[in-house]
A and B are shown apart, each in its own frame.
Chain A
Amino acid sequence: MIELILIIFTSFFLGLFYSFLIRKFSARLQWRIGPLVFMYKDLRSIMGITRIIQPLYDIIKLFGKKTIIPESSRKRLFIYSPYISLIFAFISIFFIPFSGISLLSNVPYSLVIVSYLLIGSLLFMIIGPIASGSPWAFIGVRREAELFLVTEFGFIISLFSMAISKNSLILWEISISEFNLVNITAGLLMFTSILGKLHIKPFDMSEAEAEIVAGPYTEYSGKLLGIYYLTKIFLIYDFIALFISIFIPINTLPIYLSIPLFLIISILIIFILSIIHVLNPRYRIKNALIWYIKIISILCLINIITMVM
């Protein structure tokens, strides 16, 4: 029980830390400073010692702002979907094992539960903006939905190929099973879909500010936007924890080894994501879809071959 309470704080702060790291790494790679780890001495009295939790400050600021609800929107859907999205993302943290701690991941069908929860969270990130009635949001959502479909394809296939090869639908059993070739191929498939789901750079066309202002979130402001930001914090944690627990066998190790390993691997993944983020301009949605279909079909083929072997 105590684990379930602890994981709330752990996942929240890890999510914050990851989004800080993406910002910091990409800033340093772009000859910028980014959020400071140690604040300048003369500014410490105002700004605090460190800005590692800068993403949290952003959210707190948003909660203090006025929320504007456009008249043209379908109000109930517009207001509730950020909360539903947050709830889905939040609940899924309990079903994903965290470095050797099983949490709720050993309940039957936990793999299916997790995949449904993550899809649900992303779905309500799409449905809310549709209700806003803004043309920018429509175009953004259209792109988001198209991207969602192709990334979901790879995501589901990689999850269930693991389930088939380990012969189990329980996440914990998959995570403690033996490492084999499917882990690598399915892991690659998962990684490509995470790129699209977290809007890493060639695939951030749904929030391309130069083209469609803020995309889906154009009409969102204040607390509702803050809720979406919060959802993203949990989602980053969800995807990275899921990736590590399924594909990298650290859950069999004792806790004093697995927790540092989890941190190191997750920071490494964030670093790779930042490099991809920095090196690429954004794709057009058409090019992105073609890229995904090509890559996913190749990876799926390889995946099936390894599974049969």
Chain B
Amino acid sequence: MSENIINRIKEIYPNGLEYEISGNWLIIKVKPEELDKIAKIMINLGARINHVTAIDLESKGFEIINVYDITHTNISLDNITNIIFKANISKIKPEYPSIGKITWQAVWAEKELKELLGINPIGLPDSRHQFLPYEWPNPVESKLREIPEVNIDGNYLQLKMPIKEAYQSLIPIGPYHPGVIEGQVVYVKVEGEEIVAADIKTGFHHRGIMKLIENRGYNRGVFLAERICGICSGAHGLAYITCAENLFDIEIPERALYIRTLLAELNRIHSHLLWLGVVADVIGWKTGFMYTWGLRERILDIIESITGNRITYGIWRIGGVSRDISKEIAIKAKRAIEELKEEFSKMALEIANHPVIKSRLISVGKLTYQQAFNGGAVGPTARGSGWKIDVRKDNPPHAIYDQSIISWEIVTDEGCDSYARMIVRIKEVLVSTDIVIQCLDYLSKRSGEIKSKVEEKPSKIEAIGLNEAPRGELFYYMKLYENNSLQAIRIRTPSYRNNALIPLMLIGCNLADVPVVMGSIDQCLACTDRIEVIKNNHRKIMRWEDLIVMSVNMSKKKGLL
């Protein structure tokens, strides 16, 4: 069977050096000069790039890794979902032809390669820094701070202006601005109130979480992966565990899968509710903000009663989960979710029909299907443009998402604007509540194992893991040394893709729409830059034991214990 697949792929691309099948992925070794040709072939066939990255092989040079998703193409290779192209380049001359000049999907990733590993993709359209300041290595204090001029033929970055003019006429939204909660700059050029050019710069809090995980090893890294983002911590945990489990050949107990689905969906509900609140706040509707965050609080209570934590769940383990759900909690949680669903659907109707909200969101931040596809949008941003992608169906994580067992649907909308993205998210909350109710039904009726034994040594040395985070496709890649320690981990978050589309969506909008457009893709900069926020201005010093007593009392008060 595997030969059959290889023969079929050879019809599409015959020049590979080595073909290999591992799990659901087809790994092809190629020459580095061929990478851009491959990209052209694959993009023309309708495949999309999951991620472009590279690994430092020390004395052997670099290994460029291009991962393509072929689930939405006509290439039928049985159960193969992803094709991984690999090419080795030397350290003396670390160059290869850029993929970014063919598709915008790879531009940010290649900028990152350039910055973190020193690899030079030849012909990269946007050659500015991704994480470092634009002026680097010129000192920031120097009088002439320069924004390098951009020469791009594509439509994605419109900021083509001389430096002097840029400083006179640009309005910087960020890095500290009440409309954006996290640090980033969107430079907009306005004529009156209409935006004629825009540019985005992120990288204000890069902290190198990938390197930290590499040092901790793959079985302890999940706790760090959860802390990449506070809002979609559950999605990160599930994606990490999926990736780590793909290294092994293990069967995960059914009950554990259900618990994982339950938590991932609760995570999605709370994230979407939070997003609704943020957008309401951005368009000046404090009431909507208060109400949705009030609903979100109840979801957090349910999560707390299940895992003991509200934000970082800490129950993901290789081979299962660490905590079971008792029958009583499952029944209570089900009742709470049903009540919430009823209240939310009432509120959602009101939000969706509010005339002022409609006037603020409809035809704001237009992103057509073709633009979304070429730019590599993921998640609700892509689904709001009528593109039916969902990792839960295409390339499911290790949880129960089989549509024959649990009934759910992919939500799409043809509106292609901010309002369509809002409708998609609102419907997704309702779909997620349905999934949660079905999971809780199962968990309250049956019992069983929640963790299976894991072999000491994994059977593969590299794996990818995907999950549908609330913001879109989340991508993890792991590679091990021969001695079973982690050589490299690569993380591609959904906001990383969607943020790259912001300048495109802003052109032609009103200045008042900038926060709306930025909010409409539900950007999570913590994910993009991978950071952790530390708050330390409590005057009162509490010991660890006090906190535990406090939280136990709190739970008792709420009737959760």
Q: A residues near B, CB below 8 A?
A: 26, 29-32, 135, 139, 142, 201-202, 204-205, 208-213, 278-287
Contacts and interface: CB of A to CB of B under 8 A. Distances in A.
Given A135-B171, A281-B356, A284-B359, A201 B284 contact: yes
Contacts of B179: 209-211
A211 B173 CA distance: 8
B291 A282 contact: no
Contacts of B287: 29-30, 278-279
Contact of B282 (A204, A210, A284, A285): A210
A281 B178 CA distance: 17
Given A139-B511, A210-B179, A210-B284, A202 B356 contact: yes
A32 to B, nearest CB: 6
Residue among B193, B512, B513 with max Cβ neighbours from chain A (10 Å): B512
Contacts of B511: 139, 211-212
Contacts of B193: 139, 142, 285-286
Nearest to B357: A281
B148 interface: no
Given A30-B291, A281-B356, A284-B510, 4 more contacts: A29-B287, A210-B282, A279-B287, A282-B284
Given A31-B294, A284-B512, A284-B513, A210 B360 contact: no
B321 interface: no
B283 interface: yes
Nearest to B291: A31
User: Contact residue range for chain B?
Assistant: 20 to 34
A211 B515 contact: yes
Contact of B284 (A142, A208, A213): A208
Given A31-B290, A211-B179, A281 B512 contact: no
Contact of B512 (A30, A202, A211): A211
Contacts of B282: 210
5 nearest A-B residue pairs (beta carbon): A282-B284, A281-B285, A210-B179, A281-B283, A30-B290
A279 B288 CA distance: 9
Contacts of B346: none
B60 interface: no
A205 B511 CA distance: 11
Contacts of A280: 285, 356
Interface in B169-187: 171, 177-179
Contacts of A202: 356
B286 interface: yes
B185 to A, nearest CB: 14
A26 B287 CA distance: 9
Given A30-B286, A30-B287, A281-B283, A211 B514 contact: yes
Interface in B237-296: 280-288, 290-291, 294
B174 to A, nearest CB: 11
Contact of A32 (B280, B290, B510): B290
Provide the main secondary structure of the chain A interface.
Answer: helix
A201 B510 CA distance: 19
B129 to A, nearest CB: 25
B280 A281 contact: yes
A135 B188 CA distance: 12
B395 to A, nearest CB: 36
Nearest to B361: A281
Contacts of A26: 286
B198 to A, nearest CB: 15
B354 interface: yes
A209 B356 contact: no
Contacts of A32: 290
A26 to B, nearest CB: 8
B360 A208 contact: no
Contacts of A287: 356, 359
Contact of A281 (B290, B294, B360): B360
B431 to A, nearest CB: 26
Nearest to A211: B512
Interface in B491-539: 510-515
A137 B97 CA distance: 47
B284 A284 contact: no
14 contacts: A30-B291, A208-B284, A209-B178, A209-B179, A210-B179, A210-B281, A211-B515, A278-B287, A280-B285, A281-B354, A284-B360, A284-B513, A285-B512, A287-B359
Contacts of A210: 178-179, 281-284, 515
B82 to A, nearest CB: 39
B245 to A, nearest CB: 42
A135 B190 CA distance: 11
B524 to A, nearest CB: 18
Nearest to A212: B511
A263 B294 CA distance: 35
Contacts of A208: 284, 512
A4 B515 CA distance: 48
A210 B359 CA distance: 17
B233 to A, nearest CB: 26
A285 B511 CA distance: 10
B178 A213 contact: yes
Nearest to B355: A280
A204 B284 contact: yes
Contacts of B294: 31
Nearest to B283: A281
Contacts of B356: 202, 280-283, 287
B290 to A, nearest CB: 5
Contacts of B283: 210, 281-282
A180 to B, nearest CB: 33
B168 to A, nearest CB: 10
B70 to A, nearest CB: 41
Contacts of B284: 201, 204, 208, 210, 281-282
A282 B357 CA distance: 8
A153 to B, nearest CB: 21
B543 to A, nearest CB: 24
Contacts of A282: 283-285, 356, 360
A284 B514 CA distance: 12
A215 B171 CA distance: 14
Contacts of A205: 512
Nearest to B510: A284
Interface string B345-374: 000000000101101100000000000000
A39 B177 CA distance: 33
Nearest to B293: A31
Contacts of A31: 290-291, 294
A108 B164 CA distance: 58
A139 B193 CA distance: 8
Given A210-B178, A210-B281, A212-B511, A283 B286 contact: no
A94 B247 CA distance: 82
Residue among B171, B281, B285 with max Cβ neighbours from chain A (10 Å): B285
Contacts of B360: 281-284
A171 B294 CA distance: 49
Contact of B288 (A29, A212, A281, A283): A281
Residue among A32, A210, A283, A287 with max Cβ neighbours from chain B (10 Å): A210
